[in-house]
């Protein structure tokens, strides 16, 4: 067990699948509803339940079980198995050398929609995949189909890589893994994801990227299928990045959601929430080009993102950067609610306009992006609230707290310009003191944000609190069944 920023961290739910029923994962896009305050919030689905499937036990990941063991795998290796199988990996099962496709473990077959294959490290067991020099720890190439393997669950591994640790294709879930890449470099992410119905949940990513890595190398990277020739690749949607602890990385961005090339897929319905990001070289979170449709960004705690150093080819240094939309898409909406940003940006950035807590790119607004920004706490320890390149939002009662760098933006007409009163930021305790001006001071976002980063129901008082934490007096209400806390080793 570990406690970081007041959050208790533990290995928990390993195998997840969408529940049936309205308002849950795997359903059509939610209907956007106006809140009582008139702020358009949408209602992102987040319900999960444990899956049931055949269970197999393995003591080998690559070449089949060892003789004399007690597995029930029928002579298959842990990466094999029928559609729907859950393969539990035993303690001390390691695959640290290359076997296929420049990877330690290549998942060379597919699961099925709603019935994935799963590689799950047995509770309290330890299994290592990859090493610091290998290009890929896991890979997902199906030689029979000549395409990428889809519909997999990868959970509970200790993953070390020189570039890609865990790739995820359509219908895949990456849950509760520890990933590191101290020599990492390339144009990918340590967790690298493409497709629909993607879930990156409860992982710890630490020491990703070398000091000399390319600025195109990121910690978590969600993109779309890319192509230069028509027709446009089909839109990809329903992607969740949540409850991850991402810290002390030399890679560029902690969470990079972006694509490029003329006829690539639009990517939409992202739910990025309840992540803790600490000490990131570049941006904490980017919603970038090709991000269209409805997208949510809430309950994230972002500390000291964009801290540098700079690359030879300079990049941005912000807590959150919104540069979404596409020239051929008529509608993009980003809902940014109840995030806590502290000490983001870097005075040594090559371009003064590219550092600050928040950057809303003028290009995003020109590409028909609407940004709803409410109940956030933006605390500066020296860098501007808004990077110099940032556009202004429409003047409205946005209701955010801006502190540490002078007056708030004039377009936030109900802004709080006062110390938010964190319990102890030097000790990474970003809960609000009882007398904080941010307690019971927010707008009602109950159509979109029902709980805080700890799972506490919102609101606890007469109104929403600002920031990632809801202030609680007395006993914290129990988390409901199906609520997934941060899951890391």
- How far is residue 16 from each of residues 173, 241, 471, measured CA to CA in Å? 8, 14, 30
Residue 323 banded pLDDT, cuts 50, 70, 90: very high
Q: Is residue 142 part of a domain?
A: no
Q: Is residue 231 part of a domain?
A: yes
Predicted pLDDT of residue 406: 98
Residue 44 banded pLDDT, cuts 50, 70, 90: low
Task: Let me know: does 45 contact 27? Beta carbons within 8 Å.
Answer: yes
* Biggest distance spanned by C-alpha atoms of the chain: 72
Q: What is the mean pLDDT of the chain?
A: 86
Predicted pLDDT of residue 8: 38
What is the spatial distance between Cα 30 and Cα 37, in angstroms, rounded to a whole number? 19
Using the predicted structure, report yes or no on whether residue 454 has a pLDDT greater than 60.
Answer: yes
What is the spatial distance between Cα 104 and Cα 111, in angstroms, rounded to a whole number? 20
Q: Is residue 137 part of a domain?
A: no
- pLDDT tens digits, 390-407: 999 999 999 999 999 999
Task: Let me know: does 482 contact 3? Beta carbons within 8 Å.
Answer: no
- pLDDT tens digits, 159-168: 999 999 999 9
- pLDDT tens digits, 113-140: 999 999 999 999 999 999 999 999 999 9
Residue 386 banded pLDDT, cuts 50, 70, 90: very high
- pLDDT tens digits, 199-233: 999 999 999 999 999 999 999 999 999 999 999 99
Predicted pLDDT of residue 37: 33
Cβ within 8 Å of residue 205, ≥6 positions away = 179, 180, 190, 191, 219, 220, 244, 245, 246, 247, 249, 254
Q: Is residue 307 part of a domain?
A: yes
- How far is residue 367 from each of residues 237, 248, 319, 324, 362, measured CA to CA in Å? 19, 33, 22, 8, 9
Q: Is residue 147 part of a domain?
A: no
Predicted pLDDT of residue 64: 39
What are 246's two structure tokens?
Answer: 């991402």
Buried-state track 348-372, b at ≥16 Cβ within 10 A, e below 16: ebeeeebbbbbbbbeebbebbbbbb
Rounded to an integer, what is the distance from CA 99 to the centroid of its chain? Answer: 29
Q: 214: domain range?
A: 2-50+165-432
- pLDDT tens digits, 61-78: 764 333 223 334 433 455
Number of domains in the chain: 1
What is the spatial distance between Cα 43 and Cα 38, in angstroms, rounded to a whole number? 14
Residue 16 banded pLDDT, cuts 50, 70, 90: very low
Quick one: what percent of the chain has pLDDT higher than 90? 79
Question: Can you give the pTM of this predicted structure?
Answer: 0.88
Predicted pLDDT of residue 74: 39
What is the spatial distance between Cα 365 and Cα 332, in angstroms, rounded to a whole number? 9
Per this entry, what is the length of the chain? 489
Using the predicted structure, report yes or no on whether residue 4 has a pLDDT greater than 80.
Answer: no
Predicted pLDDT of residue 62: 62
Q: State the number of CA atoms in the 13 A half-sphere of 155 facing the CB.
A: 27
Q: Is residue 410 part of a domain?
A: yes
Q: Is residue 344 part of a domain?
A: yes
Predicted pLDDT of residue 254: 98
- Which of 180-189, 311-320, 361-370, 473-482 has the lowest average pLDDT? 473-482
Using the predicted structure, report yes or no on whether residue 487 has a pLDDT greater than 70.
Answer: no
Predicted pLDDT of residue 56: 63
Using the predicted structure, report yes or no on whether residue 482 has a pLDDT greater than 70.
Answer: no
3-state secondary structure of 121: strand
Using the predicted structure, report yes or no on whether residue 417 has a pLDDT greater than 80.
Answer: yes
Predicted pLDDT of residue 217: 98
Predicted pLDDT of residue 413: 98
Report the pLDDT averaged over residues 262-267: 97
Kindly report the backbone phi and psi dihedral angles of residue 364, in degrees, each rounded to the nearest multiple of 5, phi listed first: -65, -45
């Amino acid at each position: 067990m570990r406690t970081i920023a007041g959050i208790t961290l533990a290995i928990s739910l390993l195998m997840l699948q969408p529940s049936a029923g309205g308002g849950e994962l795997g359903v059509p896009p939610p209907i956007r509803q106006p809140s009582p305050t008139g702020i358009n919030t949408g209602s992102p689905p987040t319900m999960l339940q444990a899956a049931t499937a055949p269970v197999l036990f393995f003591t080998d990941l690559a070449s089949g079980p060892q003789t004399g063991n007690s597995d029930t795998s029928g002579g298959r290796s842990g990466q094999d198995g029928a559609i729907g199988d859950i393969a539990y990996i035993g303690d001390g099962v390691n695959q640290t050398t290359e076997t296929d496709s420049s990877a330690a473990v290549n998942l060379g077959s597919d699961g099925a929609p709603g019935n994935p294959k799963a590689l799950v490290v047995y509770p309290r067991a330890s299994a290592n995949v990859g090493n610091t020099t290998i290009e890929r720890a896991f890979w997902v190439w199906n030689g029979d189909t000549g395409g990428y393997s889809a519909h997999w669950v990868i959970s509970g591994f200790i993953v070390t890589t020189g570039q890609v640790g865990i790739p995820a294709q359509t219908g895949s879930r990456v849950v509760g893994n520890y990933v590191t890449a101290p020599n990492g470099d390339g144009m990918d992410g340590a967790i690298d994801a493409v497709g629909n119905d993607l879930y990156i949940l409860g992982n710890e990513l630490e020491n990703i990227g070398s000091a000399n890595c390319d600025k195109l190398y990121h910690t978590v990277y969600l993109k779309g299928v890319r192509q230069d020739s028509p027709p446009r690749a089909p839109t990809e949607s329903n992607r969740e990045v949540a409850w991850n602890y991402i810290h002390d990385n030399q890679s560029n961005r902690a969470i990079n959601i972006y694509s490029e090339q003329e006829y690539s897929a639009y990517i939409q319905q992202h739910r990025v929430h309840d992540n803790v990001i600490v000490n990131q070289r570049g941006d904490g979170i980017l919603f970038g080009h090709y991000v269209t449709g409805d997208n949510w960004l809430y309950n994230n705690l972002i500390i000291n993102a964009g801290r540098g150093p700079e690359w030879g080819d300079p990049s941005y240094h912000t807590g959150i950067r919104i540069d979404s939309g596409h020239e051929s898409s008529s509608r993009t909406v980003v809902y940014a609610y109840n995030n806590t940003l502290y000490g983001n940006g870097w005075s040594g950035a090559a371009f003064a306009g590219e550092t600050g807590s928040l950057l809303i790119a003028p290009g995003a607004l020109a590409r028909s992006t609407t940004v709803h920004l409410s109940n956030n706490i933006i605390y500066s320890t020296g860098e501007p609230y808004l990077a110099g390149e940032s556009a202004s939002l429409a003047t409205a009662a946005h209701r955010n707290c801006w502190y540490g760098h002078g007056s708030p933006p004039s377009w936030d007409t109900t802004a709080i310009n006062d110390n938010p009163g964190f319990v102890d930021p030097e000790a990474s305790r970003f809960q609000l003191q009882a007398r904080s001006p941010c307690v019971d001071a927010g707008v009602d976002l109950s159509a979109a944000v029902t709980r805080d980063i700890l799972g506490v129901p919102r609101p606890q008082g007469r109104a929403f609190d600002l920031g990632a934490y809801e202030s609680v007096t007395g006993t914290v209400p129990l988390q409901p069944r199906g609520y997934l806390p941060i899951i890391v080793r």
